[in-house]
Amino acid sequence: MVNILTPGPTRVRENVRLARSLETTNPDLDIEFYDFYKETCDKLSEFFNTDKPFFILSGEGILGLEAACASLTEPGDRVLVIDNGIFGEGFADFVRIYGGTPVMHSTDRLNPVDAAALRACLEKDSEYKYATLVHCDTPSGVLNDAEAICKLLKEFGILTVVDSVSAMFGEPLSAENIDILCGGSQKALSAPPGITMLCVSNEAFAAMEARKTPIASFYANILGFKDYYKNKWFPYTMPASDIYGLRAAIDNAAGDALLFERHRKIAAATRAALTAGGLELHIKSGYSSTVTVFNVPDGISCSDILSRVRKDYNIMLAGCFGELADKVIRIGHMGEGADKYAVGLALEAVGSVLEGLGVKVKCSMRDAFFEALDK
């Protein structure tokens, strides 16, 4: 099997794969499945240390972002789209699709969103139904201070939607000031793709219930999940095997006392190693512990690097898309990928492939990585 160190999907541990192979019941009719589903959701609330309920929806991470916008947006609503990356900007599309008016707060893409500058804007105009923010914008790896920004937005009475798909379980996060927190199965949680997790506040539900127009989607309607347990009714059949696997992955994460520390140390050592080798990190500050992004050296083809790393070392790293296509390489060290031996080997692979392509690498990046880890 190829060793995947991409920023999602990530490697899936054996106990998660085995849990997916268990015999399944009829999840619509078997009352016990509602208990299993609710316990799994409660474990997520416990992990995030919040009283707010979680919901598990069948669909990739994108479904969560769309469901948040579909459920909150009414035609004509003004929505603040906080944008310092490709996913940040992308929220505007969902807002528009559901008839809202996105108002962009676009900032430079090499640094996290500055809360003081945002406050100055909100003091002039804060007439927004909700705001969207991406925790880790995966294409660049920039990490926004979701807690501080959501606290600020709540001061102005604005509902908050946070995409933490590629950060949650790799970066600590309080859901306290988040009205809809979106997560996915295939990133740092290291379950297979296909599941969205949403944590929803009472205020978000109240906003959905106060709508004058119906939610313009069935599959992406979060309100349809609100009373599933009381009514013993899901809007559609739940993917039981996916949820069995997800549960095992949540248990893995919840039982891992060093989860965040390991992510933080591996990310810091990866940055130290790349820099020591003479490569350039793509962003200037706000590095996520889940992914490290470096610039492809001038005159070298991104796809040549990736294909040689794949062919010679059987390691899969990621390039990027959109405005960063061919410009950067992304090393995902999230979830099962937050493994020092795997990342050390990937750095050795990048170093040797770059040398082979004529780039002078200043040191053994693998050695630099382990030295930095030991510090």
Ligand X SMILES: *Cc1c(COP(=O)(O)O)cnc(C)c1O
Binding site for ligand X (CB under 6 A): 8, 60-62, 87, 134, 137-138, 163, 165-166, 184, 187
Nearer to ligand X, 184 or 335 (CB): 184
**Smallest separation (angstroms) from ligand X to the CB of 74:** 24
Nearer to ligand X, 77 or 137 (CB): 137
Selection from 58, 66, 68, 54 nearest residue 250 by Cα: 54
Q: Are 189 and 254 in contact (CB under 8 A)?
A: no
**Smallest separation (angstroms) from ligand X to the CB of 135:** 7
DSSP per residue, 133-189: EESEETTTTEE--HHHHHHHHHHTT-EEEEE-TTTBTTB----TT-SEEEEESSSTT
**Smallest separation (angstroms) from ligand X to the CB of 138:** 3
Residue corresponding to tokens 């599309």: 93
Nearer to ligand X, 184 or 344 (CB): 184
**Smallest separation (angstroms) from ligand X to the CB of 177:** 19
**Smallest separation (angstroms) from ligand X to the CB of 134:** 5
**Smallest separation (angstroms) from ligand X to the CB of 293:** 12
Nearer to ligand X, 134 or 353 (CB): 134
b (16+ CB within 10 A) / e for 212-233: eeebebeebbbbbbbebeeeee
- Tell me the C-alpha distance between 291 and 23, whole Å: 35
- Tell me the C-alpha distance between 165 and 171, whole Å: 11
Q: Are 289 and 171 in contact (CB under 8 A)?
A: yes
Nearer to ligand X, 74 or 89 (CB): 89
Nearer to ligand X, 87 or 225 (CB): 87
Q: Do β-strands 328-332 and 291-295 pair in parallel, antiparallel, or remain unpaired?
A: antiparallel
Nearer to ligand X, 187 or 282 (CB): 187
**Smallest separation (angstroms) from ligand X to the CB of 204:** 19
b (16+ CB within 10 A) / e for 92-115: bebbeebebbbbebebebeebbee
**What number of other Cβ atoms are within 10 A of residue 38's Cβ?**
15
How far lies 233's CA from each of 25, 34, 206, 226, in Å? 15, 9, 20, 10
- What are residue 160's phi and psi, to 5 degrees? -120, 130
**Smallest separation (angstroms) from ligand X to the CB of 64:** 8
**Smallest separation (angstroms) from ligand X to the CB of 184:** 5
Q: Angle, nearest 10°, between helix axes 259-276 and 340-356?
A: 20
Nearer to ligand X, 163 or 348 (CB): 163
Nearer to ligand X, 144 or 270 (CB): 144
Residue whose Cβ sits closest to ligand X: 61
- Tell me the C-alpha distance between 284 and 112, whole Å: 9
